[in-house]
Structure formats: structure tokens, C-alpha cells
């Protein structure tokens, strides 16, 4: 995965909105298929699951759902690909992933079983310190 | 004593040579013990159950609405990105890699079940 992303070239701009849309789906699939690698190299098995990470990726894509300009979509896709390749090449550390992608999306989900008995102060302390 | 009896009995016993294993015949192709796939193919009911389980676990889906004939966008109120997400979840569950052309066509439960059931590598 890392080696294949290394040779990514910037493709020409999307001609129309349908092509840009297709590229977004392709990017989403590439990102989903690299989830096992990401969980492996950052040791995410005890804090997250593949389906949670998939939902996180789709939520990040959905943040920009209102964009209709194809050039802007291409730019966002490029930034997404860059971010993904940085993550897959292990250019980040575990707390970057935790703080950026896992903790912000955890608010709505239940807290892990080992923190059930802890006070609110301790829970906030754990959250604030990225484990 | 026992060994003498045993050898006496064994000398009398004749077992007909089994003629069922034909080296070049079709019977040898039935069992490929070291093969990684082929004879452990999934049956239809298992595929249906696991596909429904994956869809029910999807956060935006109401589990009570899920049945084997459901359409992702019309019946479950999902959008195109959710559909791709479900297809990726199915890929992970059945250890497949569905090519883009086929993945675009899968937009309902019957199509997903049919594709996975007919795929030789699904497990």
C-alpha cells in the first residue's frame, strides 16, 4: 500500500461533476482498503474498529458535501490523498491519529468498559491527554 | 500366545483391494486437501445471514427495517456514500476485493447476496 501510494501523480482536473464524484468514491475505497494497514501500524485495535474508522472517513468526506466546484473538489481530493499517504507511510504518530480522527468522533459512542467506574474528572483527564 | 493367535488370524483375513481411487479419473479431482478454496464454499443461508448482520451493524440503519429484499437508498434512506461504505464493510466481512464496476452495481441487498454467493473466493 505504501509503495503504491508513493507513485501517485496529480491527475488532470475533473472535466465534470460526475467524474469528480467518481474520484471521490475511488478515494474513499482506497482509504477503506488501507484501514487494516493503518490499524496495524498505529496499534488502533483497542481504541477503534474498522467500521468506526470507515464512518470517520465518510464523515470527513461528508463535511465537504456542499462543494460543487470541480476544481475545489479536486483540490480537496489531493489534500485527502496526501493525508492518507502520510498516514500509511507512518509519517505521523499514534496520538496524531487518536486526537484527529478517533477522539472527536467518540463523543456519541459509549466509553470503553474499563472507564465505567471512573469519575467525570478522570474521564475528562484521559480524554484530554490522548491516552 | 496372543501374538501367535493374532498372526494366525491376520494370515486368514483378506481385504479386497479398493478399486475406487482412479488416478486419472474424475474421482481424484473431488478432494484437493491442500487447496485454499473450492470445497469450503459458503451456502446461501449463511451468506444471507452475514450480509444482513453487516447491514444491521451499520450505525445509520434501523435494524428492524432490514430484510433480504431491502434496497439501500430507497428503503433504508442511505445515500451513495453510505452504499459504498456498506460495500466496503461487506468486502471486509467476506475477505473480498470487489472491482469498481461490480461495486457500483451493488445497491440493494439481493444484488449483494447474489454477488457474494457467486464469488469463488468469498469466505
ipTM of the complex: 0.70
Contact B92 A50 (CB under 8 A): yes
Choose among B102, B57, A53, B104: nearest CA to B116.
B102
What's the rounded Cα separation, in Å, for the pair B49 and B52? 5
Q: Kindly tell me if the per-residue pLDDT of A1 is higher than 60.
A: no
Helix (H, G, I), strand (E, B) or coil at B108: strand
Which CATH number applies to B44-118: 3.40.50.1000, 3.30.110.30, 1.10.1510.10, 1.10.1200.10? 1.10.1200.10
**In which region does residue B13 sit, left (phi positive, over 0), alpha (psi from -120 to 50) or beta (all else)?**
beta
Cα torsion angle, A25, B79, B97, A35, sign: positive
Tell me the average pLDDT across A93-98: 89
Alpha-carbon dihedral angle through residues B109, B98, A43, A99, given to the nearest 10 degrees: -70
How far B85 CA lies from chain A's nearest CA (Å)?
A: 7
Contact A54 B80 (CB under 8 A): no
User: Closest residue of A to B90, CA-based?
Assistant: A51
B19-54 pLDDT per residue, tens: 555 455 444 455 556 665 555 577 888 888 888 988
Q: What is the pLDDT of residue A5?
A: 64
Helix (H, G, I), strand (E, B) or coil at A99: helix
Contact B57 A51 (CB under 8 A): yes
* Ranges in chain B, pLDDT < 50: 22, 25-28
B71 strand-pairing partners: B108
Q: What is the pLDDT of residue B2?
A: 75
B62 is catalytic: no
The whole-chain average pLDDT of chain A stands at 83
Q: What is the pLDDT of residue B27?
A: 47
C-alpha cell at A118: 471512573
A112 near A103, Cβ under 8 Å?
no
B59 chain-A contacts, CB cut-off 8 A: 55
Q: How confident is the model at residue A85 (pLDDT cuts 50, 70, 90)?
A: very high
Q: Kindly tell me if the per-residue pLDDT of A17 is higher than 80.
A: yes
A102 near A47, Cβ under 8 Å?
yes
Tell me the average pLDDT across A81-88: 94
* Own/partner pairs, A102-106, CB within 8 angstroms, 24+ separation: A102/A44, A102/A47, A102/A48, A102/A52, A102/A53, A102/A56, A103/A127, A103/A130, A105/A52, A105/A55, A105/A56, A105/A59
Contact B84 A26 (CB under 8 A): no
A97 near A105, Cβ under 8 Å?
no
A31-71 pLDDT per residue, tens: 999 999 999 999 998 888 999 999 999 999 999 999 999 99
In eight-state DSSP terms, residue A12 is P
Say which of B39, B43, B75, B79 is annotated catalytic.
B79
How far B18 CA lies from chain A's nearest CA (Å)?
A: 50
Instruction: Cite the beta strand spans of B6-105 per DSSP E.
Output: none
CA angle at A103 for the pair A102 and A109, rounded to the nearest 5°: 90
Q: Kindly tell me if the per-residue pLDDT of A102 is higher than 90.
A: no
Amino acid at each position: 500500500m505504501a509503495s503504491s501510494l508513493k507513485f501517485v501523480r496529480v491527475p488532470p482536473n475533473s472535466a465534470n461533476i460526475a467524474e469528480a464524484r467518481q474520484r471521490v468514491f475511488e478515494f474513499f475505497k482506497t482509504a477503506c482498503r488501507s484501514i487494516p494497514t493503518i490499524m496495524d501500524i498505529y496499534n488502533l485495535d483497542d481504541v477503534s474498529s474498522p467500521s468506526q474508522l470507515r464512518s470517520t472517513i465518510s464523515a470527513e468526506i461528508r463535511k465537504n458535501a456542499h462543494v460543487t466546484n470541480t476544481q475545489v473538489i479536486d483540490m480537496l481530493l489531493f489534500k485527502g490523498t496526501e493525508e492518507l499517504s502520510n498516514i500509511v507511510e507512518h509519517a505521523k504518530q499514534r496520538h496524531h491519529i487518536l486526537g484527529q480522527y478517533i477522539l472527536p468522533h467518540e463523543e456519541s459512542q459509549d466509553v470503553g468498559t474499563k472507564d465505567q467506574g471512573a469519575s467525570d474528572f478522570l474521564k475528562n483527564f484521559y480524554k484530554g491527554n490522548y491516552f | 500366545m496372543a501374538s501367535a493367535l493374532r498372526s494366525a488370524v491376520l494370515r486368514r483375513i483378506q481385504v479386497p483391494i479398493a478399486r475406487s481411487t482412479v488416478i486419472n479419473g474424475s474421482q481424484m479431482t473431488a478432494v484437493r486437501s491442500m487447496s485454499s478454496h473450492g470445497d469450503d464454499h459458503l451456502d446461501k443461508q449463511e451468506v444471507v445471514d452475514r450480509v444482513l448482520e453487516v447491514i444491521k451493524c451499520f450505525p445509520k440503519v434501523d435494524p428492524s427495517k432490514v430484510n433480504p429484499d431491502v434496497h439501500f437508498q430507497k428503503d433504508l434512506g442511505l445515500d451513495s456514500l453510505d452504499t459504498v461504505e456498506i460495500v466496503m464493510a461487506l468486502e471486509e466481512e467476506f475477505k473480498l476485493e470487489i472491482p469498481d464496476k461490480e461495486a457500483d452495481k451493488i445497491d440493494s441487498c439481493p444484488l449483494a447476496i447474489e454477488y457474494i454467493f457467486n464469488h469463488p473466493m468469498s469466505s
